[in-house]
Amino acid sequence: MGDVCAYCGAADPQTVDHVPPKLMLEEPYPNNIVTVPACLDCNKRFMKDDEYTRTVIALDFRAAGNSAAQSRLPKVLRSLGYPKAKRFSDYLRRQLKPTDLVDATGNPLGIRAEVDISRIDATGKRFARGMYYYLAGTPIPREWEVHVLSKPGYNSVDFIVPNFNAIMDKCGDRAQGHIGSGFSFVAGRSVDGCVFGFLLYEYFWWIVAFLDKSAKIPGLVSQK
């Protein structure tokens, strides 16, 4: 375990955090799960957003082709039926709508969620903070601003792709990899910033950049 929390920098962290959390991965768990030191407060603070993000992304019909997402569905659906999860289930139910895509008989092919993107962005930001610590051995500098963009699906004509590639080109320290069949990442780091691309269940992605305040990236949302 490290000397400081990967997220807040608190000394003597008492636990470890997984990036991504195990609840997003297939069982048996991959042997290359990233772990970073974390204080109890940070570890607990992520739990609700992690569960929310996993649930709405796994339930989307676009995750149907990913084995990790499908392996989580029985537990997701079972947990939503627990009495103690009623408030969460009701909250999700209000967000779920039939997809506009239908089969030959006119029945919806699945469901879609009118999601709370701020919670999903928070999960992406947490991925980036944890992965940065794993790669650099230190928390992200406090003076860097965070920029987040997330969406289902992308292609080469998305406006953000050239900006992402331009940042990556300036990063001399790069990494990429897969963690199980459900999660993959690319990362670039320089002396004044870093950028990450995360893909969950082969269709939902985040771009997260931590940069000096003078840097501006069209389309990314600056957060504190």
DSSP calls for 78-139: HHHTSGGGHHHHHHHHHHEEE-S-B-TTS-BSSEEE---HHHHHHHHHHHHHHHHHHHHSSP
Residue 43's H or E segment, with its range, is helix 40-45
d(CA 119, CA 97): 19
184 assigned to some structural domain: yes
Structure tokens at 216: 């501006």
166 assigned to some structural domain: yes
- pTM for the structure as a whole: 0.85
Structure tokens at 157: 């004509």
d(CA 31, CA 13): 23
91 assigned to some structural domain: no
d(CA 3, CA 84): 36
Query: How many domains are there within the chain?
Result: 1
Residue labelled with tokens 């989580």: 72
- What sign results for the dihedral spanned by CA atoms 113, 116, 122, 128? positive
179 assigned to some structural domain: yes
Residue 37, pLDDT score: 96
131 assigned to some structural domain: no
7 assigned to some structural domain: no
d(CA 160, CA 180): 26
150 assigned to some structural domain: yes
pLDDT of the chain, 224 residues: tens digit per residue? 568 999 999 999 999 999 999 999 999 999 999 999 999 999 999 999 999 999 989 988 889 999 999 999 999 999 988 988 899 999 888 887 787 788 888 888 777 667 899 999 999 999 999 999 999 999 999 889 898 989 887 665 566 677 777 778 878 889 999 999 999 999 998 877 889 999 999 999 999 989 877 665 555 555 55
4 assigned to some structural domain: no
Please give the residue range of the domain that contains residue 196: 143-223
